[in-house]
Structure 1
Amino acid sequence: MASPSDQANAASRGCVLLTGANGFTGKYVRAELEAAGYTVVGALVGASRGPHEVTLDITSPDNCRRAMEKVRPDYLIHLAAISFVQHADADAFYRVNVIGTMNLLQALLDTGLSPRRAIVASSANVYGNATAGFIAEAQPPQPVNHYAVSKLAMEFMVKTLSDRLPIVISRPFNYTGVGQEPHFLVPKIVSHFVQRAPVIELGNLDIERDFSDVRMVAQAYRGLLEQDCAGQTVNICSGRPYSLRAILDTMQQIAGYDIDVRVNPAFVRQSDVKTLAGSPDKLRSLVANLQPIPLEETLRWMYSAGAAN
């Protein structure tokens, strides 16, 4: 059986080491890259299960170095993170998102690798409650929770290595699609309509988010991998905010019934970012032919997939 590095040499477009490969985003990014002709080696916590997978615990520097020696990737896309804002262990945000990312990038240097591109996923949450219309990358960060602070700290750490590695920092805004965990907002709403639940309990109904389709996000990652944009920080977003009320209205039209919406004070967080909408101008200038998918189309896709299961 060929090793990942042997397969990478045989691949016409090179080998991508993808952390978080089995996560919601990672599965779509992997499919996008493989369809474009890349060999993708998925980094997994725990035992690897095939020739296109490798065991990787990013909290262990030694494990990171062993994985790099084994795979010897041409590209790195680092998606692995603690990403649920309400995660109970605040320490984990910093242990995984900051120190883990440092271990991963340092392992590239320690093993003498020279990747063509290393994309590190941050988050639009670093902008906090910015109210400057459509937020561009130059907007000063003002994080309001541990998740966002950990991502901003990670960005500063990453930039200390930018003279030695061709790093691109992505700042994804909200996105959704089939397969996202049900504790996230949009899958929760869709699942209630699939089940034809009479009542749904939510938090602040007036928050607005710039929702993208995960399939577009995967295309954006491939595009950034292929562009000469090292040293850049790039929003991944649609440029259109949607209120929670608008999403509920759309789902009621799709499902054909009205649901009783109740605000549960326990779901209302004081640190909630009220409006978060990004400017996609830089992304569109770098990635040609990137077409946002209307949220209604995404919701219909999710509803149909849920109804089929």
Structure 2
Amino acid sequence: MASPSDQAKANSAAGQRGTVLLTGANGFTGKYVRAELEAAGYTVVGAVVGGSRGPHEVTLDITSPDNCRRVMERVRPDYLIHLAAISFVQHADADAFYRVNVIGTMNLLQAMADAKLSPRRLIIASSANVYGNATAGVIAESQPPQPVNHYAVSKLAMEFMVKTWNDRLPIVITRPFNYTGVGQEPHFLVPKIMSHFVQRAPLIELGNLDVERDFSDVRMVAQAYRGLLEQDCAGQTVNICSGRPFSLRAILDTMQQIAGYQIDVRVNPAFVRQSEVKTLVGSPDRLRALVPGLQPVPLEETLRWMYEAGTAA
């Protein structure tokens, strides 16, 4: 009988690097992560809400412990990347943040234990929103969390819950900062701005123009997830970020150059949130140490990619 290391080498040689159960597979991030993993030779089983649409998809309701156990028994994954969450900060149902983000994640981990699985790596997506209104400049993973909304509180609660499993499962927690790309839902900020420029709208209403965010390209984020899957980094918490801040004013200026016209920008007080995080910029040092060669995509390149895709549609 082949040893585990010999079997791993055989699988790699055959282009079979193991099975990844990917929750949130049909979401914005999930589609890019799935493509990245499949291109690298992994078998990806996408966990989706509602009816599955192919041999490499399963229906999964993470709020149902029984459903989670059935899926784990059926798929028996070598890896888990857990992206499924209520992720829109202004989501109206506060209870849903905790029901999905905390209890749903616990159900997944318990189901893996109940199925007696020994996964090689689990990546659980948290959020840089847990840092809140941090004012320490570039934020490293050691920055004390200061969540200021239900989304961020639910993600931090999830992190603490997940860490109780570190002695049993090889878990990595990621804290993605803002990122964008083709296919992101239009209620997010950059796609909203992009849609106005694609339609050559004369006017756009926004909130605080001076907030600064660390924007990454979703394609880089997908590469980061694959890289962390392949590294011996269990037990770590890792920022997914570029390390560069951009204000909304800077994004608008860049878009006006790309689209070739000036848009009338008006601040709508209704869009200014009282709990607004003013500046959120991450330190990518740990990520770059764990995933050597990972390079951020310049924001202008990302914006041009999105604009060209929008005008071609």
Q: How much has 1:27 moved relative to structure 2?
A: 0.1
Q: Verify: 1:104 aligned to 2:94, yes or no.
A: no
> Following the alignment from structure 1 to structure 2, what is the Cα–Cα distance between the partners of residues 186 and 193?
11
For normalisation by structure 1, the TM-score amounts to: 0.97
Alpha-carbon distance between aligned partners in 2 of 1:127 and 1:185, rounded to the nearest angstrom: 20
1:227-270 superposed Cα distances (whole Å, 9 cap, x missing partner):
00000000000000000000000000000000000001110000
C-alpha offsets along residues 143-180 of structure 1, whole Å, 9 cap, x if unaligned?
00000000000000000011000000000000000000
User: Is the 1:11–1:39 contact (alpha carbons within 8 Å) kept by the matching residues of 2?
Assistant: no
1:176 aligns with 2:176: no
Aligned to 2:154: 150
Q: Which residue of 1 aligns with 2:214?
A: 210
1:12 aligns with 2:12: no
Give per-residue Cα distances to partners, 1:2-51, cap 9 Å, x unaligned.
xxxxxx99862000000000000000000000000000000011121111
Q: Any idea what SS the aligned residue of 1:87 has? A: coil
Structure 1 residues not aligned, in runs of 5+: 1-7
SS of 2:225's equivalent in the other structure is helix
Mark the runs of 5 or more structure 2 residues left unpaired by the alignment: 1-10
Shift of 1:129: 0.4
The one-letter code sitting in structure 2 at the alignment partner of 1:256 is G
Give CA-to-partner distance per residue, 1:266-295, whole Å, 9 cap, x none: 100000100000000000000011010000
Amino acid across the alignment from 1:84: F
The answer to whether the 8 Å contact 1:118/1:165 transfers is yes
Q: What amino acid is the match of 1:229? A: C
Distance (whole Å) between structure 2 residues aligned to residue 233 and residue 174 of structure 1: 17
In structure 2, what is the Cα distance between the partners aligned to 1:131 and 1:172?
A: 18
Aligned to 1:243: 247
From 224, 228, 232, give the equivalent of 2:228. Answer: 224
1:195 equivalent in structure 2: 199
1:279 matched to 2:261? The reply is no
Matched, 1:160 2:164: yes
Separation in structure 2 between the aligned mates of residue 68 and residue 11 of structure 1, nearest angstrom:
23
Quick one: which of 27, 40, 44 aligns to 2:31?
27
State the AA in 2 paired with 1:56.
Answer: L
How far, CA to CA, are the matches of 2:282 and 2:152 in structure 1?
16
RMSD between aligned residues = 1.0
Match of 1:141 in 2: 145
Q: Which residue of 2 aligns with 1:82?
A: 86
Between the two proteins, the alignment pairs up a number of residues equal to 302
1:52 equivalent among 48, 51, 56: 56
Given that 1:32 and 1:222 are in contact with CA atoms closer than 8 Å, whether structure 2 keeps it comes out as yes
Q: Secondary structure at the match of 2:119?
A: coil
Q: Residue 244 of structure 1 aligns to which amino acid in structure 2?
A: L
Q: Distance in 2 between matches of 1:87 and 1:71?
A: 31
Counterpart residue type for residue 145 of structure 1: N
2:122 corresponds to: 118
Identity of aligned residues (%): 88
